[in-house]
Amino acid sequence: MYNINAKISKILFIFVLFYSAQCFAKPIKHDIHYPDGNGPFPAIVTLHTSGGYGPTKKWIENYKSKVWTERGYVVYAPDFFNRHGITPKSRMDTFSVYREEIERELSEIVQLVKKDPKVDGKNVFAIGFSNGGFWASYLAGTQKVNAGASHYGVWKANMGRSIENPFPMEYFTKDSNPVLALHGADDGTQRMRHVQQAWDIVSSSGANITTHVYPGADHAWDSKSKRFDAWNPQITQDALKRTITFFESNLRK
């Protein structure tokens, strides 16, 4: 009886390992949206805030797929919270507990984008908002995408204690691909004094970083959420225009 139970337990253990491996071999949950036509098109990976995937798509204007498909981009929108059960309350785990796993998972998404027959694999970009700005910095800093844009992004994931957590600054070197960083002077979530320190570190690495600060702007200027009450349509449109121009300047033939 003992031998039979032991064998059954061993079989079940192997099955669980196999099932887990199969599950996690799949890319993380993501949506895909295409422009009209056959392509191949440039592509953009859009990266959500700490509010998560679903709600973010509704209230972040520049995140919406239509904004990008109308301009001829294929949109891949990965949910990097879902697999790890991250919530707005546990959002800081994104930058510490699950950082290396999310790095791998987003890198896999980029590879998936580049294999898409409707995508011009030479021209893949990333845009991130708040939490997602951290990951756009990762993808550009480590040369996974042509260029990245961080809108009111996380630049000090540990509330300014860079010695304890040197990311996303540590992703950047002189060989990094360009990044555009847009931020509000009155951002109460990612305060400008910490952000400027991070930008200085990135610049000192030799990386190509372009920055712009919006006077009087708070966190999430393209948000219609009452939580932030920072909605500013003029800044929203300017940020979109700057980002599109930045990406176009980094298109490869």
> Would you list the domain boundaries of the chain?
29-248
pLDDT of 13 above 50 = no
Token representation of residue 85:
């059960």
Q: Name the fold adopted by 29-248.
A: Rossmann fold (3.40.50)
pTM of the model: 0.88
pLDDT digits (tens, 9 = 90+) for 34-83: 999 998 999 999 999 998 876 556 668 888 899 999 999 999 999 999 99
CA 17 to chain centre: 30
Residue 248 has a pLDDT of 98
Question: In this structure, are residues 48 and 129 in contact, taking their beta carbons and an 8 Å threshold?
Answer: yes
Residue 229 has a pLDDT of 85
Letter string b/e over residues 55-91, b meaning 16 or more CB atoms within 10 A of that residue's CB: ebbebbbbbbbebbbeeebbbbbbbbbebbebeeeeb
User: 225 falls in which pLDDT band (50, 70, 90)?
Assistant: confident
